[in-house]
């Protein structure tokens, strides 16, 4: 890995390079995506079936688009019992964590009889997109679906692309069943996003779409935002490790590569105050790449977006980490709990030697769908809040309105909205 001195210049160069990976920078694909969306809106199932044949080489129709119970049962038979048991344990942890995020409706009454409140209610239909093929991740199924279930969403619809033989990834189907997905449809790509956003004869229109995907899926979600809600327009995966001389270089190298193996645009960054650690981590990274599968992807990721920054002191390192606002942030220092309060921006923070990033990906319970591309400065992990809406409640008595009606009329008249003022004034003629 390249080892660089941390200073203002190298930090700015890194930030500029990382932002180039944003899906917003791939405008050359937008026309393709917009044409697909327009076609789906116009021809619905007919267009969806044609795109599935074109891109996935499967002849989809109204009788085979929906995954059957038998297909789900067959998927269970394809998986090891240990894997199924691990998924169920993970689902229990994810559910328990997200249960603590639930909010209650509330009502506040005043002496004059006025009532103000907020009603918290779930969205009606949630749509989940799950990639297919080698990019199929059952863990993401659990992370997308279970917060919706905890929120009380009544109907959860999933779209995932079929293989050329019409099969869906077995892990995806089992995870969906464990999480409680109501309907699964064999549709992928931008066309699946459009189908969920606008509805077809086979796939219902949903209120929100969540889930990862390639650049076409990301751009389709972006284009459909406003017609439906979305979780985010996710960029490539990121990990940043803050470490001092007490860190184990082999552990740090392993953690950096845990994200580098996702794709060639994933970023893996170490910020350390120890030049010795920097050198040792670089050596260990090379050793692991030679030993592990997906070595070609990891090598390209490290070559493109892998950095080891040597900081003069920990405060400079923390400042750089806040500027990067990484999706995943590990703190492997002598006392990580002293560093943590100084971190302002990160999707998820992992503290200490034995809290490596995959713990959050698979098992601990907090959601692994996290903000990327510096959006951790203003976005949060996927949560129960993403699947509920809040409605304001207002009920004034005559006495309550009478005490304030002149103030409201003054406000309305000053904005030139005389009908607004009149709506209040007529009640006290």
Per-residue pLDDT of the chain (429 residues; tens, 9 = 90+): 999 999 999 999 999 888 787 766 667 889 999 999 999 999 999 999 999 999 999 999 999 999 999 999 999 999 999 999 999 999 999 999 999 999 999 999 998 889 999 999 999 999 999 998 766 899 999 999 999 999 999 999 999 999 999 999 999 999 999 999 999 999 999 999 999 999 999 999 999 999 998 889 999 999 999 999 999 888 889 999 999 999 999 999 999 999 999 989 999 999 999 999 999 999 999 999 999 999 999 999 999 999 999 999 999 999 999 999 999 999 999 999 999 999 999 999 999 999 999 999 999 999 999 999 999 999 999 999 999 999 999 999 999 999 999 999 999 999 999 999 999 999 999
**Count of C-beta atoms within a 10 Å radius of residue 48:** 27
pLDDT for res 384? 98
Query: What is the rounded distance in angstroms from the CA atom of residue 181 to the CA atom of residue 149?
Result: 9
Predicted pLDDT at 25: 66
Specify the pairing of strand 208-210 against strand 229-230. Answer: parallel
- Please give the structure tokens belonging to residue 181: 């997905």
Report DSSP letters for 194-238, one per residue. Answer: HHHHH--SSS---SEEE----HHHHHHHHHHBTTBEES----S-E
Q: How far is CA 90 from the centre of its chain?
A: 18
The pTM score is 0.94
pLDDT value of residue 146: 98
Query: Do 363 and 354 contact (CB within 8 A), yes or no?
Result: no
Question: Beta-carbon neighbour count of residue 419 at 10 Å?
Answer: 7
> 325: Cβ–Cβ under 8 A, 6 or more apart, which residues?
345, 346, 371, 374, 375, 376, 377
How many angstroms separate the most distant Cα atoms in the chain?
A: 85
The predicted-structure confidence for 239-284, as pLDDT tens digits, reads as follows 999 999 999 999 999 999 999 999 899 999 999 999 999 999 999 9
DSSP annotation of 4:
E
Helices 249-260 and 295-305: crossing angle, nearest 10°?
100
Q: What is the DSSP string of 381-422?
A: ---GGGGEEEEEEEE--HHHHHTTHHHHHHHHHHTT-HHHHH
d(CA 290, CA 90): 31
Q: Copy the structure tokens of residue 194.
A: 């459009």
**What's the confidence (pLDDT) of residue 18?**
86
CA 59 – CA 370 distance, rounded (Å): 35
d(CA 94, CA 147): 8
Q: Which residues pair with 117 in a beta bridge?
A: 107, 393
* Cα angle, residue 329 at apex, residues 272 and 318 outer, rounded to 5°: 45
**Cα gap 235→252, rounded to integer Å:** 23
Closest CA to 333 of 323, 322, 343: 343
Q: Residue 23's pLDDT is what? A: 67
For residue 252, give the DSSP letter.
H
Question: Which of the residues are catalytic?
Answer: 327-328
Secondary element (H or E) of residue 272: strand 267-272
Task: Report the alpha-carbon distance of residue 167 to residue 147 in Å, rounded.
Answer: 27
Give the pLDDT confidence of 102-131 residue by residue, as tens digits.
999 999 999 888 999 999 999 999 999 999
What local confidence, expressed as pLDDT, does residue 215 receive? 87
Tokens 């002849």: give the residue: 59
What is the rounded distance in angstroms from the CA atom of residue 345 to the CA atom of residue 380? 10
Would you state the torsion angle of the CA atoms of residues 146, 152, 155, 156, taken in this order, to the nearest 10 degrees? -20
């Amino acid at each position: 890995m390249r080892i660089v001195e941390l200073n203002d210049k190298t930090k700015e160069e890194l930030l500029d390079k990382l932002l180039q990976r944003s899906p917003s920078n791939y405008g050359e694909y937008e026309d393709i995506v917009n044409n697909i969306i327009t076609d789906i809106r116009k021809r619905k199932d007919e267009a969806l079936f044609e795109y599935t044949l074109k891109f996935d080489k499967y002849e989809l129709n109204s009788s085979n688009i929906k995954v059957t119970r038998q297909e789900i049962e067959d998927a269970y038979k394809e998986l090891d019992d240990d894997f199924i048991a691990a998924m169920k344990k993970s689902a229990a942890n994810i559910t328990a964590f997200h249960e603590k995020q639930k909010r209650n409706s509330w009502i506040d009454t005043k002496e004059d009889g006025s009532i103000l409140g907020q009603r918290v209610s779930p969205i009606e239909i949630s749509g989940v997109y799950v990639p297919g093929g080698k990019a199929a991740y059952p863990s993401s199924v659990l992370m997308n679906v279970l917060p919706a279930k905890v929120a009380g969403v009544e109907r959860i619809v999933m779209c995932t692309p079929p293989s050329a033989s019409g099969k869906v990834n077995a892990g995806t189907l089992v995870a969906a069943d464990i999480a409680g997905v109501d309907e699964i449809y064999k549709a992928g790509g931008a066309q699946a996003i459009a189908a969920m956003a606008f509805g077809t004869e086979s796939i219902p229109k949903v209120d929100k779409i969540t889930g990862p995907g390639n650049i076409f899926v990301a751009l389709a979600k972006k284009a459909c935002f406003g017609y439906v809600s979305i979780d985010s327009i996710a960029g490539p995966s990121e990990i940043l490790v803050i470490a001092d001389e007490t860190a184990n270089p082999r552990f740090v190298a392993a953690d950096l590569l845990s994200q580098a193996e996702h794709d060639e645009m994933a970023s893996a960054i170490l910020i350390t105050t120890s030049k010795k650690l920097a050198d040792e981590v670089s050596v260990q990274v090379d050793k692991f790449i030679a030993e592990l599968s997906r070595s070609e992807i990891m090598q390209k990721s490290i070559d493109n977006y892998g950095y080891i920054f040597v900081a003069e002191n920990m405060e400079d390192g923390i400042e750089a980490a806040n500027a990067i606002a990484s999706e995943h942030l590990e703190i492997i220092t002598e006392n990580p709990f002293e560093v943590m309060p100084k971190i302002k921006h990160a999707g998820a923070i992992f503290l200490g030697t034995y809290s490596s990033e995959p713990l959050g990906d698979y098992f601990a319970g907090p959601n692994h769908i996290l903000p990327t591309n510096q959006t951790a400065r203003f976005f949060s992990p996927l949560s129960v809040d993403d699947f509920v809406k809040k409605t304001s409640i207002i009920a004034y008595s005559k006495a309550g309105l009478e005490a304030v009606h002149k103030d409201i009329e003054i406000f309305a008249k000053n904005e030139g909205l005389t009908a607004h003022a009149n709506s209040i004034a007529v009640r006290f003629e």
